[in-house]
Amino acid sequence: MRIAVTGASGFIGRAVLTELARRGISAVASSRSGIGFPLGSAHKSVVLDIHENAADAYERLGRPETVIHLAWSGLPHYHSLHHFETELPVQYRFLKSLIVSGTQNLIVAGTCFEYGLQSGPLSEDLPTQPANAYGFAKDALRRELEFLKTSQPFALTWARLFYLYGEGQASTSLLAQLRQAVARGEKTFNMSGGEQLRDYLAVEEAARLLVSLALARCDAGIVNVCSGRPISVRRLVEGWIRDNGWAIDLNLGYYPYPDYEPMAFWGDRRKLDSILEGQ
């Protein structure tokens, strides 16, 4: 099976390439500005910006049967109109061109922000109610691909990602900020109240799940990619500090809770588990 990975130089993309190599699978690794790290012999690097509207994108990606599509620009500015003014039409055009050219199996990164301000365990059959432009644009892209499927059949797995953490994450992420504070020798770490319940997954585990979904070729539709277990942000951060042997105190309540997220939500993992069991 010929596999391509877009957004391959990103936080999740690098973990997916590592996971593919671990399984002995070679892929074409595509990114906007080249892969800035050693790929090893397993993969082939390709420079491709989906905003270019290249007519030969499918060829340059090695005529892939399966595409794990992670590319998305404009993050972490969740409220920017960029996500639907620019990114949505570009993303749809790019993915449609791959499908029309011959790609049969598409795994696309979705986001828990598609659910919007809904609380508790979130299952894939809930109506989406995105509350920011990023969540809206992802949700709209998924619906557009579902409409496209009715005239141009292909297998679609919409991997709705919850919160991830790990090495090499964007400097705005919680773990990266904590790491920077420790490196600066700070005694306290300013954060929110920390009581909010979230669903966190190590990026290596998310990559393992994404690759399993890609190999399943099961046209699964929406699948939550999550731990299925709520954890308070406070406990999560305390765990990172303990596991790393860091010495830093938490200044809880320094920042307000974000207004675009509910206090408690996590993924319902039953659909994901049933797909993985079937393998």
Binding site residues, a second copy, CB under 8 A: 79, 81, 84-85, 89, 92, 127, 129, 133, 136, 140, 143-144, 147-148, 150-151
| β-pairing verdict for 155-161 and 197-198 | unpaired
User: What is the CB-side half-sphere exposure of residue 184 using CA atoms within 13 A?
Assistant: 10
Nearer to a second copy, 7 or 135 (CB): 135
Smallest gap from Cβ 144 to a second copy, in A, equals: 6
> Closest CB to a second copy among 33 and 151?
151
Task: For the CB of residue 83, give the shortest distance to a second copy in the complex, in Å.
Answer: 9
Minimum CB separation of residue 4 from a second copy in Å reads 23
Kindly state the smallest distance separating residue 177's Cβ from a second copy, in Å.
26
Alpha helical stretches, state H, 57-170: 57-60, 82, 88-101, 133-151
Cβ closer to a second copy: 109 or 140?
Answer: 140
- Extract the tokens encoding 30: 């595509």
Cβ count near 264 (within 10 Å): 14
CA distance 48 to 40: 20
Residue 81 CB, nearest approach to a second copy (Å): 6
Is 84 or 240 the residue whose CB approaches a second copy more closely?
84
Helices (H) and strands (E) in the chain, counts: 9, 15
CA trace torsion 35, 40, 43, 44 (10° rounding) = 60
Q: How far is the CB of 135 from a second copy (least distance, A)?
A: 11
Proportion of the chain in helix, strand, coil states, percent, rounded to 5: 40, 20, 40
